[in-house]
Amino acid sequence: MPPGREEASERVLQILSEAARLFAANGYERTSMRDIAAACGISKALLYHHFVDKDAIHNRITLGFTRELYGFVAEQIPAEGSASCRVRAFMTASATFFERYRQVWMTSTAAFWSDPKARGQEERIAWRTRYEMLLRGLLAEGKASGELRDVDVANAGRLILSALNWMHRWYQPGHGQTAVEIAETYHDMIFGGLLAGQAAPKLSQSPAKRASGRP
Amino acid sequence: MPPGREEASERVLQILSEAARLFAANGYERTSMRDIAAACGISKALLYHHFVDKDAIHNRITLGFTRELYGFVAEQIPAEGSASCRVRAFMTASATFFERYRQVWMTSTAAFWSDPKARGQEERIAWRTRYEMLLRGLLAEGKASGELRDVDVANAGRLILSALNWMHRWYQPGHGQTAVEIAETYHDMIFGGLLAGQAAPKLSQSPAKRASGRP
């Protein structure tokens, strides 16, 4: 278990998810601690046991989930294997996280970009940077080993993150492909290229360890 | 000149750009018609000649630019050439538009997603759809001719649009690559693939006609 994950109990994740859903639907101001407790099916006392106030919940949504995302994704990447395979694990783990905590992700992303001076933004950016550097590290290894072309690692990383980040704008859970399937499709297109007559991407290595809890 | 472009005089584009900048910096409510006129260096009378009120400016920002984007990009795509070459023109034209009207684009995108029921959204979505279908059409032609692999056109289109759309989140004008250069890099990675040992993307055909006004 990576550092920091021990606090992320299922209860806390449930509270954050429900609160994010309510903030998104009704706005922060019009959402009360009572509403959040009711949505979780727990008492206000139990809710206050986990969070001192609504602001603390909001901060955790805007800050904590970047840390959560990093930890969740980092632990899904196999220690061995091709860069293609390991980046695939990065992408499918990100998609799994996104799919599981969709509301939190959306609220969190909106809050992140709309209020760059908010408390905790520095820490959030630091976790976001670690997440991005994790991906660039995998790409740089693949380039060094000759597996990947001599592409600019920063741009390649941004391309991959753009695809993952933009997904929440159009993806509808329960319709068509799952987020993980879309991430796999993106991976195959980005690694194999769209042009015909190229080597098929080498995807025969051990597939990324999937996060449990998804079919 | 594509339909609708005749209204987009330089003056109107200046007003929209300055207004978008002020809305983004100070908020819609705290921006007055006087502020917008001052930012443009024009009289309030001239401003009112172009727009009846602030709401009209805001509507044009959130609605009109999708139409502008479509028209601008559509006219940059060469009638002949490979799918790779034509998609490259789609991407660089989008990047040029984005770079030139960055503030408008950002304000417009934020407004678009934050208020799905706003007046004009249906029309905006229709233009956005035409823009996306233009890209899918180019990809489908490339697939039909055998130039492109048998990829899912909708997903390939989304991958390309994600890269373009997400650019405004991290791109800083005047620092490093231009938006057009980034779009070209993305194109080469997406078409050629990241994996080594593949055919280099065929980019020798006539380059996309660039929009003038950028070095």
What percentage of chain A exceeds 90 in pLDDT?
47
In whole angstroms, what is the distance from residue B165 CA to residue A166 CA?
8
Indicate yes or no: CB of A189 within 8 angstroms of CB of B158. Answer: no
- What pLDDT, on a 0 to 100 scale, did the predictor assign at position B72? 86
Kindly indicate the confidence band of residue A206, based on its pLDDT and cuts at 50, 70 and 90.
very low
The SS3 assignment for B148 reads strand
- What pLDDT, on a 0 to 100 scale, did the predictor assign at position B155? 95
Q: Which of B113, B148, B189 sits opposite A156 (nearest CB)?
A: B189
Q: How does A132-149 read in b/e, with b if 16+ C-beta sit within 10 Å?
A: bebbbbbbbbbbeeebbb
Torsion over CA: A37, A43, A44, A45 (sign): negative
Amino acid at B67: R
Choose the mutation target among A166, A186, A194, A205 for the interface with B, i.e. most B CBs under 10 Å: A194
* Residue A9 distance to chain B (closest CA, Å): 31
To which H or E segment does residue A188 belong?
Answer: helix A179-192
- If one compares A194 and B175, the residue with the highest pLDDT of the two is A194
Tens digit of each residue's pLDDT (9 = 90 or more) over A49-105 = 999 999 888 877 776 678 778 888 999 999 999 999 999 999 999 999 888 877 676
Indicate yes or no: CB of B158 within 8 angstroms of CB of A170. Answer: yes
Partners of residue B148 in chain A, C-beta under 8 Å: 194-196
Q: Which of A146, A167, A194 sits opposite B149 (nearest CB)?
A: A194
User: Can you list the residues of chain B whose pLDDT is less than 50?
Assistant: 1-8, 202-215
Among A44-58, A98-112, A191-205, name the most confident range.
Answer: A44-58
Choose the mutation target among A113, A162, A171, A177 for the interface with B, i.e. most B CBs under 10 Å: A162
Partners of residue A113 in chain B, C-beta under 8 Å: 169
Nearest to A99 by CA among A167, A22, A185, A145: A167
Indicate yes or no: CB of B185 within 8 angstroms of CB of A152. Answer: yes
* Residue B95 distance to chain A (closest CA, Å): 14
- What pLDDT, on a 0 to 100 scale, did the predictor assign at position B69? 85
> Is the Cβ–Cβ distance between B12 and B75 less than 8 Å?
no
- What pLDDT, on a 0 to 100 scale, did the predictor assign at position A124? 79
* Residue B42 distance to chain A (closest CA, Å): 30
Kindly indicate the confidence band of residue A197, based on its pLDDT and cuts at 50, 70 and 90.
confident
Choose the mutation target among B85, B117, B162 for the interface with A, i.e. most A CBs under 10 Å: B162
Question: Taking the mean position of all CA atoms in its chain, how far away is CA B173?
Answer: 15
Assigned token pair, A73: 């994704």
Question: CB count, 10 Å around CB of A59?
Answer: 17
- Secondary structure in 3-state letters for A111-174: HHHHCCCCCCHHHHHHHHHHHHHHHHHHHHHHHHCCCECCCCHHHHHHHHHHHHHHHHHHCCCC
- If one compares A161 and B199, the residue with the highest pLDDT of the two is A161
Kindly indicate the confidence band of residue A207, based on its pLDDT and cuts at 50, 70 and 90.
very low
> Is the Cβ–Cβ distance between A180 and A214 less than 8 Å?
yes
- What pLDDT, on a 0 to 100 scale, did the predictor assign at position A209? 39
Choose the mutation target among A84, A158, A195, A198 for the interface with B, i.e. most B CBs under 10 Å: A195
What's the ipTM?
0.72
- What pLDDT, on a 0 to 100 scale, did the predictor assign at position A212? 39
Residue of A nearest to B149 (CA): A196
- What pLDDT, on a 0 to 100 scale, did the predictor assign at position A100? 80
Interface of B with A (CB under 8 A): 84, 110, 113-114, 139, 142, 146-149, 151-152, 155-156, 158-159, 161-163, 165-167, 169-170, 182, 185-186, 189-199, 201-202
* Residue A175 distance to chain B (closest CA, Å): 14
Indicate yes or no: CB of A198 within 8 angstroms of CB of B198. Answer: yes
What percentage of chain A exceeds 70 in pLDDT?
78
Mean residue pLDDT across chain A: 82
- What pLDDT, on a 0 to 100 scale, did the predictor assign at position B21? 84
Assigned token pair, B5: 């472009």
Q: Which of B166, B194, B201 sits opposite A166 (nearest CB)?
A: B166
Put residue A27 in one of left, alpha, beta given phi > 0 → left and psi -120 to 50 → alpha: left
For the entire predicted model, the pTM comes to 0.74
- What pLDDT, on a 0 to 100 scale, did the predictor assign at position A116? 54
> Is the Cβ–Cβ distance between A170 and B166 less than 8 Å?
no
* Residue B199 distance to chain A (closest CA, Å): 6
Residue of B nearest to A149 (CA): B196
What is the Cβ-side half-sphere exposure of residue A153, based on CA atoms within 13 angstroms?
Answer: 16
Q: Which of A182, A190, A193 sits opposite B198 (nearest CB)?
A: A193
What is the Cβ-side half-sphere exposure of residue B93, based on CA atoms within 13 angstroms?
Answer: 24
A&B contacts, CB < 8 Å: 128
Indicate yes or no: CB of B165 within 8 angstroms of CB of A169. Answer: yes
- Secondary structure in 3-state letters for A40-103: HCCCHHHHHHHCCCHHHHHHHHHHHHHHHHHHHHHCCCCCCCCHHHHHHHHHHHHHHHHHHCHH
Taking 50 as the threshold, does the pLDDT of residue A134 lie above it?
yes
Least confident interval from A116-120, A142-146, B69-73 = A116-120
- What pLDDT, on a 0 to 100 scale, did the predictor assign at position A210? 39
